[in-house]
Amino acid sequence: MKIFSIKPLNLNQFSSRVSPKLIRGRAVTCPYRLYQMKQAGISQIIDLRNSAFFQSKFEKFFCKLFGIKYFNYKYPFRSYYLPEESFFKKINNTITTHNGQTYIHCQYGKRRTGICVAIYEKECLKKARKDIFNELLNIGFSDMYTNKNPKKRRHLLSIYSDFVKRYYPELVKS
């Protein structure tokens, strides 16, 4: 007797595939969605949130219950600058040394996730610069120039500028 049926995970609804090993998206707040992710082959989650203590513990609990590896790498989102390079190397190492699929997220899957994915694409996938910038601007930093809040615009521009200076110094004019 079948009590309920499991619908397949709809990646387009919550997330997008970066590579065969990596999927990016927003925070996972529903145990049923975690279960669907497990059924879809995701065996590791990287959570970039640093302020959602209860939410992270909740997600960690259900990951353990479903047999999904869980990592919480706290990425400061109020900072005007990127974390140290070692932070991103640790994330890339976690993704590349894992044999299965990894799901990476922050709260909304835009800026912190976008920066981490951009660095992964540059360092590990050797993706074209144009494609990395297009994705970064379209998904995470699209409101960098249009946001009505000048403080928010400065914050986004500062993070984006720090990314360009560190990872594409050849683009920065003297």
pLDDT average, residue stretch 164-170: 95
H-helix segments, the chain: 11-14, 31-39, 53-66, 85-96, 111-120, 129-135, 150-167
80-98 core/surface letters (b: 16 or more CB in 10 A; e: else) = eebbeeebbeebbebbeeb
Chain segment 61-104, per-residue pLDDT in tens: 999 999 999 999 988 877 889 999 999 999 999 999 999 999 99
* Residue 124 confidence (pLDDT) above 90: yes
Q: How confident is the model at residue 144 (pLDDT cuts 50, 70, 90)?
A: confident
**Predicted local confidence at residue 2, as pLDDT:** 47
Domain boundaries of the chain, sorted by first residue: 15-167
pLDDT surpassing 60 at residue 135 = yes
Q: How confident is the model at residue 143 (pLDDT cuts 50, 70, 90)?
A: confident
CATH number of the domain at 15-167, please? 3.90.190.10
Average pLDDT of the residues in 99-127:
95
Burial of 114 (0-12, 13-18, 19+ CB in 10 A): buried
Greater confidence, 2 or 160? Answer: 160
Whole-number pLDDT of residue 3: 46
**Residue of 99, 149, 94 lying closest to 124 (CA atoms):** 94
Rg (CA), the chain: 17
The structure tokens 């694409």 sit at: 121
What CA–CA distance (Å, rounded) separates 44 from 59? 12
Looking at residue 6, what is its pLDDT? 46
Report the chain's mean pLDDT, rounded to a whole number. Answer: 89
pLDDT of amino acid 174? 56
